[in-house]
Amino acid sequence: MRILVTGGAGFIGSALIRHLIETTAYEVLNLDKLTYAGNLESLSSIATNTRYEFVQADIADRATVDAVLARFAPHAIMHLAAESHVDRSIDGPAAFIETNIVGTYNLLEAARGYWAKLPAAEREAFRFHHISTDEVYGDLHGVDDLFTETTPYAPSSPYSASKAASDHLVRAWHRTYGLPVLLSNCSNNYGPFQFPEKLIPLTILNALAGKPLPVYGNGLQVRDWLFVEDHARALLRVLCDGQVGETYNIGGHNEQKNIDVVRSICALLEELAPNHPTGVNHYADLISFVQDRPGHDQRYAIDASKIQRELGWTPAETFQSGLRKTVQWYLDNPEWCQHIQDGSYQGQRLGNSDFKDLIA
């Protein structure tokens, strides 16, 4: 099988590609624009594999997408290219509209044109897998409610609204044109190689540097945490075994308050990195509550029973085991982190406006 992955230099995309190359015999083409969060160093372990190819391109560049489809002739497209940081979407929503909505539309049209010309058997086997987020559902107000695949959409931020729009486009292209699509909506991902603007890597790196650990509001917002390697396994399962036109929610069964996540990281660092930065007695002393994000959703939680029941997938990691692996990875890979922070991973130094200490 040949799989085209968009956004494969991002956090989830790179985990997916590593999983595909390391555990299958598939050929993978990674099409990525390499925006600020795209990092080819995350793919260094498989970069020279003969079954892997990288093309730097924007999904909004129709001519290039058409050319890549014609040359690579994929059996499936796994669409992960997206702007995904809520704070950035509040500061500048235009990029989210362009990439997540217009870019997805362009990719759908390119895929439809390519798919329509395939021989009948290949057309029947082709899949367009759109990877989305649980944030399209808005938030949950009860303590026991869960997002299901039929939960009405109620996005709160420009980011989640743009992803909701892209989901609707994918479903429309299936119903109107018959494009064989699959959709999946995941909870908060964490793990190795995550860009350090997100809560968990930001907390780890700030703590090690003796910098404040910012927590929005009272820190009681609840998220369901999914280890990124578990997510990669789930995505492959959906692609191979999912039913065309269906949506699958992918969650980690690990609901945690933001403040508890930060405290857990501090506790792990006390054990794994006991030599504190100068002037710091305990990592938890660095916790700093800051003004809450506008429109901040209070609680996300996914009902992942459908993918377990129909496709046999369950997460392998608990939050405790996954978080320990994550903290240890950041301790073991200071060069990867340094290249992000000084901008050298892009071959240039990032300005203050491009890299900010923000919380996911």
**CB 212 within 8 Å of CB 205:** no
Span 192-201, average pLDDT: 92
Tell me how far apart the alpha carbons of residues 136 and 154 are, in angstroms, rounded to a whole number. Answer: 6
Q: Give the pLDDT band of residue 138 (cuts 50, 70, 90).
A: very high
**What pLDDT, on the 0 to 100 scale, is given for residue 144?**
81
β partners of residue 248? 184
**198-256 tens-digit pLDDT:** 899 999 999 999 999 999 999 999 999 999 999 999 999 999 999 999 999 999 989 99
Q: Which of 8-17, 133-142, 167-176 is predicted least confidently?
A: 133-142
**CB 131 within 8 Å of CB 238:** no
Domain assignment present for 261 = no
Average pLDDT score, the chain: 93
Domain assignment present for 346 = no
**What pLDDT, on the 0 to 100 scale, is given for residue 142?**
76
| E strand map for 228-266 | 247-250, 255-257
**43-89 tens-digit pLDDT:** 999 999 999 999 999 999 999 999 999 999 999 999 999 998 888 89
Domain assignment present for 74 = yes
**18-37 tens-digit pLDDT:** 999 999 999 999 999 999 88
Tell me how far apart the alpha carbons of residues 343 and 346 are, in angstroms, rounded to a whole number. Answer: 6
Q: Higher-confidence residue: 330 or 293? A: 330
In percent, the amount of the chain with pLDDT more than 70 equals 96
Give 206's DSSP letter: H
**What pLDDT, on the 0 to 100 scale, is given for residue 347?**
63
Domain assignment present for 200 = no
Q: Give the pLDDT band of residue 355 (cuts 50, 70, 90).
A: very low
Domain assignment present for 351 = no
Burial call 272-286: b when 16+ CB within 10 Å, e when fewer: ebeebeeeeeebbeb
Q: Which of 118, 239, 232, 114 is nearest to 173 (CA)?
A: 114
Tell me how far apart the alpha carbons of residues 277 and 88 are, in angstroms, rounded to a whole number. Answer: 30
Domain assignment present for 98 = yes
Residue 160 pLDDT more than 80? yes
Give the CATH number, domain containing residue 6: 3.40.50.720
**What pLDDT, on the 0 to 100 scale, is given for residue 110?**
98
Measured from the Cβ of residue 50, the count of other Cβ atoms closer than 10 Å reads 7
Q: Higher-confidence residue: 355 or 147? A: 147
Looking at the structure of the chain, the number of domains it has is 1
- Rounded to 5 degrees, φ, ψ at 12 are -75, -40
Domain assignment present for 345 = no
Residue 180: give the domain boundaries: 2-194+225-256+300-319
Number of H helices, E strands in the chain: 13, 12
Tell me how far apart the alpha carbons of residues 267 and 82 are, in angstroms, rounded to a whole number. Answer: 33
HSE, CB side, 13 Å, CA atoms: give it for residue 246: 15
Tell me how far apart the alpha carbons of residues 227 and 316 are, in angstroms, rounded to a whole number. Answer: 9
Query: Is the pTM for the entire model greater than 0.95?
Result: no
Q: Which of 62, 163, 132 is nearest to 302 (CA)?
A: 132
Residue 349 pLDDT more than 60? no
| E strand map for the chain | 2-6, 27-32, 52-56, 76-79, 127-133, 181-186, 188-190, 213-216, 222-227, 247-250, 255-257, 287-290
Tell me how far apart the alpha carbons of residues 121 and 261 are, in angstroms, rounded to a whole number. Answer: 48
Catalytic residues: 134-135, 159
Q: Give the pLDDT band of residue 344 (cuts 50, 70, 90).
A: confident
Residue 308 pLDDT more than 90? yes
Tell me how far apart the alpha carbons of residues 140 and 55 are, in angstroms, rounded to a whole number. Answer: 40
